[in-house]
Every structure is written in C-alpha cells, then in structure tokens.
Amino acid sequence: MLFLFSNSFDTTVDLLILKLGGEGVFRYNFDLWRDYQFEISPEGFRFEDPAGRVATDGNVTKFLWRKPSRTAEMFPGTKLSAEDTYSEKELWYALCEVANLLWARRKVVLAEPFADMRVGKLVQLQAARDFFDVPPYRMSLGVPFPAAGKNEFVVKSLTSEFVGENSDQAMLFTSRIDPAELTLKAPWMLQQYVAAELDVTVQVVRDRLFAFELDRSAFLDRTIDWRSLGADELSERWRPHALPLEMQDSIFAFMRRCELHFGRIDFLCGGGRYHFLEINPNGQWAWLDAEGRHGLLNKVVREISPATPCVPIPRRA
Amino acid sequence: MITIHSLLRSKQAISRTRLAAETGDYDHRSMKRWQGNDTALVRLTMKSSTAFDGEAKNNEGDRSTF
C-alpha cells in the first residue's frame, strides 16, 4: 500500500490518485486529522480513514511525503482552541515519527521529508558551484555592500515567508535593486542579476530528468520572477526543453552530491549558458504535465505505485 | 533606503474559498476533493503561485516543533 501524507487541498495528490486508482492507496490529510483514527504502539501503527481503509506497519510498502500542513500554515489567522493547538502539535509529532519509522525501513520514496533542513538554499548553492555556473551571492545583515551598479543585483527570499499579520499573501519576490539603497538593518539575500532569455526548470524523478522552458520576454517588462505572476497566466507557456547531455550529467552528479532522488531545479538560460538558481526538493511539478503528455506524470505514478518495486531515498544516519 | 516592506508584493493566488467551491468538499471515499477530469483547475492550483502547494515556503513540516 502507498501511504500519501498531504493535505486535502493538494490537487497534485488528487491527480495522482486519479492515475493510480484508489486501490492500494491510503491518503492522510493532516488538515482533516479529526476524521482519522490513528494509533501507534510497540506492535506498530494503524490508521483508518472514514471510508474504512486501513494502513498499517504491515501493509504500507511505500510512503510519499507530499504537502502535509498544519492549520497555522494552511489557514493563517485561524483561531484554534488551546486544546486543539496542543492536539495538533502532538499528532504532528507522532505523524513525523511514522515518517521516520518508514524512512528507517526504507519505504520513503522520491521526496525527502524535511529536506530543506539538510539541503537548504545556501547549501545547495555551495554544492552547485562544482557542477554549474552559479551567480555570485551573499546573505548578510549589517555588513555594507560593495559598490555595484544599479540593477546589477537582485534580492530574493530564502523562506518566501508571507509578511504581515493577516497573511494577505504579501511576500518578497525576486527583485532588481541597487545594493547601496538597501537598509543594513534587515537580512538580505543578494545575487548577481543574470540577463537570460529563458527560465528552465528541470524536474528530477530519481533516474529521469524532465526539462521545461519559459520564454522570459512574456513578462520581463513586469517582473523578473515568474512566480509573482498569476497562476493562470504562465502555466500554459512552459514548453519541453532539450537539455544538453553534459547538463544532464551535471544534474545527476549534483543530485548524487545532495543525496536527493527528487527535486525541481531552476536555472536561468542566457547566451547558451545555464545559471543555477535553486533546487526545491519537494516542489510542485504536476502543472508542467497535468495531462501526462510529457512523461513526467507517468514517471511519478510509476515510482510511487504500490504495484512497482520500492526504490527508497537514502537513509539518514 | 529600501526596506523589506518596500519590496513586498501581493501574491496572486487562488483563494481556498474558490478552490473549495470549484472542487467541492473532500470525499474520503474517493480520497479526492477534485472529482473532474478537466485538468485546467488542477494546473491552476498546482502552479507555484497558489496558496496551497507550499512550493515557495521552505518551512513545510517545520522540524523545529518536534
């Protein structure tokens, strides 16, 4: 049985279940934790959903960490009672332990839980320097910036945290700036601006790469960060991208260095050169191939299917 | 001086109210909220600018709490 750990608004999982069929799949949505029965004891764990499906130590053969989220993360501003807040934290702890148990038993596939705690943006950038062109960067607080031309650098967010009490979804997207104008009282992640014609994103699914490109001329007059545009504006514009063989080799080598089986790597491509930006070890990918025309959706389905052999992610010490 | 506040921009995203309205309630029997075959909505909600995907946030499953 495949155990999917996510939330009930995760339509990627909806799509995966549509492709997999419900047989042999157990979906646990953390936002609906009140709906499930759960116990863990020396004999193992047992989950039961309202439809009567049961997942246990014995029948789970694969585990996929998708997008489990707690109430505070999914619905900022929601007031939970003190007891519900406590209950959610207790349950979250227990569910994370289930993931750890299954990880130790080599049943976790593709996405590494908490990968950002191990291979965050700054660690990625360090590792990437051995394989790709990496625009110079600096994360700093209080240290004066060296003189630079206006718009020669961008600021970006490491966390993409929302700012503001009501979580009205204001956030810091990548923006061109003059470093001399930045206040030194705030932490800034700076990176040299790259003039590029294409955004290239490469989804790694263990032993396969799926590359897509986006022509930046469609939005450069408004933003340099395609993520800041409306969800419906650009998703249709991504096209498959032919990666040179040496890039493919570099990407696989980088993934081995990072000990990751899964992740979406963002590059800027200009003048025939690829500039590494980041890897999101559990990023979204399904919007690139929602209809399954490019092989990506089917590859993920094959990897997580309870009917195929389990190729687990590396086990942590 | 540029501050964090001066660089903030609203995130264009689908509201959970709209998503719930278009997909319906979560159905435990089918293990899906979205019951249709039109992937336009799926594409829309999967893209990284949506509110539910966690794509942009690095703190999913914040380990510091356990």
pLDDT band for position B51 (cuts 50, 70, 90): very low
Model pLDDT for residues A143-154, shown as the tens digit of each residue = 998 887 777 899
Q: Average pLDDT for residues B33-54, to the nearest whole number? A: 60
Residues of chain A numbered 70-109 and touching chain B (CB < 8 Å) = 73-75, 89, 92-93, 96-97
For residue A93, the model assigns a pLDDT of 95
For residue B58, the model assigns a pLDDT of 42
For residue A251, the model assigns a pLDDT of 98
Interface confidence (ipTM) of the complex: 0.86
Q: Average pLDDT for residues A234-247, to the nearest whole number? A: 90
Interface contact A228-B9, CB threshold 8 A: yes
More confident residue, B37 or A295: A295
User: Does the pLDDT value for residue B14 go beyond 80?
Assistant: no
The pair of three-digit structure tokens given for residue A40, joined into one six-digit string? 């863990």
For residue A88, the model assigns a pLDDT of 93
pLDDT band for position A236 (cuts 50, 70, 90): confident
In chain A, whose CA is at the least distance from the CA of B38? A291
- For the ranges A65-79, A127-141, A171-185, A253-267, the lowest mean pLDDT is seen at A65-79
User: Does the pLDDT value for residue B4 go beyond 80?
Assistant: yes
Q: Average pLDDT for residues A118-131, to the nearest whole number? A: 96
Class of CATH domain A115-134+195-304: alpha beta
Model pLDDT for residues A272-291, shown as the tens digit of each residue = 899 999 999 998 888 889 88
Q: Average pLDDT for residues A7-29, to the nearest whole number? A: 92
Out of A17, A75, A290, closest to residue B31 by CB: A17
Model pLDDT for residues A27-39, shown as the tens digit of each residue = 999 999 999 999 9
Interface contact A160-B57, CB threshold 8 A: yes
Out of A12, A89, A280, closest to residue B46 by CB: A12
Residues of chain B numbered 31-50 and touching chain A (CB < 8 Å) = 31-34, 37, 39, 41-50
Q: Domain extents for chain A? A: 2-104, 115-134+195-304, 136-193
Model pLDDT for residues A242-273, shown as the tens digit of each residue = 999 999 999 999 999 999 999 999 999 998 89
For residue A141, the model assigns a pLDDT of 96
For residue B49, the model assigns a pLDDT of 44
Q: Average pLDDT for residues B30-50, to the nearest whole number? A: 68
Mean pLDDT, chain A, integer: 91
- Exposed (0-12), middle (13-18) or buried (19+): which is A1, by Cβ within 10 Å? middle
For residue A317, the model assigns a pLDDT of 60
**Secondary element (H or E) of residue B5:** helix B4-7
For residue A28, the model assigns a pLDDT of 97
For residue A174, the model assigns a pLDDT of 86
User: Does the pLDDT value for residue A125 go beyond 90?
Assistant: yes
pLDDT band for position A24 (cuts 50, 70, 90): very high
Q: Average pLDDT for residues A56-70, to the nearest whole number? A: 93
pTM to 2 decimal places: 0.90
Nearest-Cα distance to chain B for A218, in Å, is 17
Spell out the SS3 assignment of chain A. Answer: CEEEEECCCCHHHHHHHHHHCCCCEEEEEHHHHHHCEEEEECCEEEEECCCCCEEECCCCCEEEECCCCCHHHHCCCCCCCHHHHHHHHHHHHHHHHHHHHHHHCCCEECCCCCHHHHCCHHHHHHHHCCCCECCCEEEECCCCCCCCCCCCEEEECCCCCCCCCCCCCEEECCEEECHHHECCCCCEEEEECCCCCEEEEEEEECCEEEEEEEEHHHCCCCCCCHHHCCHHHHCCCCEECCCCHHHHHHHHHHHHHHCCCEEEEEEEEECCEEEEEEEECCCCCHHHCCCCCCCHHHHHHHHHCCCCCCCECCCCC
Neighbouring CB atoms inside 10 A of B30's CB total 15
Model pLDDT for residues A70-121, shown as the tens digit of each residue = 877 777 677 889 999 999 999 999 999 999 999 999 999 999 998 988 999 9
- For the ranges A37-46, A227-236, B43-52, the lowest mean pLDDT is seen at B43-52
Out of A96, A168, A291, closest to residue B10 by CB: A168
For residue B42, the model assigns a pLDDT of 67
In chain B, whose CA is at the least distance from the CA of A278? B56
Answer yes or no: are the C-beta atoms of A8 and A31 closer than 8 Å.
yes
- For the ranges A60-64, A204-208, B14-18, the lowest mean pLDDT is seen at B14-18
pLDDT band for position A163 (cuts 50, 70, 90): confident
Q: Average pLDDT for residues A186-201, to the nearest whole number? A: 94
